Amino acid sequence: MNFFLELLVGGLTKGGIYALIALGYTMVYGIIALINFAHGEIYMIGAFTGLIASLFFSSLGLTGWALLALVIMVAALWAAMYGLTLEKIAYAPLRKASRLSPLISAIGASIFLQNFVLLTQTPNYLLFPDLASDLPGLSFLKPIAHLASPIQVCVIVMVALILAVLTFILKKTWTGLAMRAVSQDPLMAQLTGINLNKVIARTFILGSVLAAIGGVLIGCATRQIDSNIGFLAGLKAFTAAVLGGVGSAPGAVLGALILGFAESFTAGYFSGDFEDVVAFVLLTLILTIKPSGLLGQKIAQKV
């Protein structure tokens, strides 16, 4: 039973982080129908800037909650800038091109960013500092430490908080309203006075911030990062987004949790070798059986 609960918590942690990345995919897809292939690299860059920031600030003597908050803020800021630059260089000029062009451009950007970080930093694994395990005020978690480590609890709580904030942004703010309007009908939205490029830029910023937070959290949870983490995580998050129905935010979270559990249980009860295969098999199955995903709407193609 304990083993089962451990796997459950592990799956929940993983799923939560996939959800943070998957939301970026799904929001961008909802608005400009583009698979932002380089989104996984933004997550990786978030992890790296987070690492640099944490090493820098801890050498200044910061610890605890202040350090964690500052690291997340710096990582989110830089990831947002990378996301914005990516949009302006690789996607914005291709707004009117054929569907294949932005996708190839996105793959190119992904390879570029991955090797950029590899060449400027290191091809090896880097140790990520333990930012969350001895945070003051978390000692009440000691009794359940054998089931869920403090960092796992931290990740789960933070993901839940972020999702709440995101729901608020999407449902209650003007930006969220504009995003939803653009995703329903870009032309009509523009006619009502919405600046399309501004909304797209904000979507990229929002998605990148979420991915960067995911990057910092995964760094804390696995304690090591390298320049390749973005590729696989991006693919899995995309799988999660497709699973839930691309374009639907709650669907992305649901898909991410399902994927997290599926991976965790496969690794626990079957074999760790096949953990990575699960996502791809799931993806192929979903796309062949129900391409619109669990919560997605089937949109008739207009001619």
Partner 1 sequence: MSLKALKLTLVKAWPGALWLIIVAGPLVILRVNEITGRVEFVAERVVKLLVGAFLAAFLWGLFRQLSGSPEGRKGNPPPLKRLGLSALIGAFISLKVNALNKSRLFWVIVALCLLFFPLMTSPYALKVATSVLIYIALGLGLNVIVGLSGLLHLGFAAFYGVGAYAYALLGHYLGWGFWVCLPLGGLAAALLGLALGLPVIRLTGDYLAIVTLGFGEIFRLLLTNLDVTFGPRGIGQIAPPGFFGLDLNQTFKPFLEANIGLNPAMDLNKVWIYLIVLGLVALSVKVASRLENSRLGRAWLALREDEIAARAAGVNIAFTKLTALALGSFFAGLAGVIFAAQITFINPPSFSFMESIYILVIVVLGGQGSIPGIILGATIITVLPEFLRGSDNYRLLIFGGLLVLMMVFRPQGLLKRGR
| Site for partner 1, rule CB under 8 A | 34-35, 45, 48-49, 51-52, 55-56, 59, 78, 81-82, 85, 89-90, 93-105, 107-127, 231, 235, 238-239, 242, 273-274, 276-277, 279-281, 283-284, 287-288, 291, 301, 303
Q: In whole angstroms, how close is the CB of 15 to partner 1 at the nearest point?
A: 19
Q: Which is nearer to partner 1, 173 or 224 (CB)?
A: 224
- Supply the minimum distance, in Å, between the C-beta of residue 40 and partner 1: 12
Phi, psi of 224 (to 5 degrees): -150, 145
Q: Which is nearer to partner 1, 112 or 138 (CB)?
A: 112
- What is the smallest separation between the CB atom of 287 and partner 1, expressed in angstroms? 6
Angle of helix 150-172 versus helix 174-184 axis, rounded to 10: 80
Nearer to partner 1, 204 or 231 (CB): 231
* Residues sharing a CB contact under 8 Å with residue 124, sequence separation 6 or more, in sequence order: 226
Phi and psi of 137, rounded to 5°? 95, 0
Nearer CB in complex with partner 1: 110/183: 110
Q: Which is nearer to partner 1, 105 or 152 (CB)?
A: 105
CB of 56 to partner 1, least distance (A): 5
Min separation Cβ 148 and partner 1, Å: 27
* Smallest distance from partner 1 to CB 296, Å: 12
Among 245, 172, 223, 181, residue whose Cα is nearest residue 50: 223
The residues pairing with 126 across neighbouring beta strands, listed in sequence order, are 225
Q: How far is the CB of 193 from partner 1 (least distance, A)?
A: 19
Which C-beta is closer to partner 1: that of 101 or that of 195? Answer: 101
Which is closer to partner 1, CB of 112 or CB of 265?
112
Measured from the CB atom, the residue of 170 and 294 that comes closer to partner 1 is 294
**Distance spanning both ends of the chain, measured CA to CA:** 55
Q: C-beta of 282: minimal distance to partner 1 in Å?
A: 9
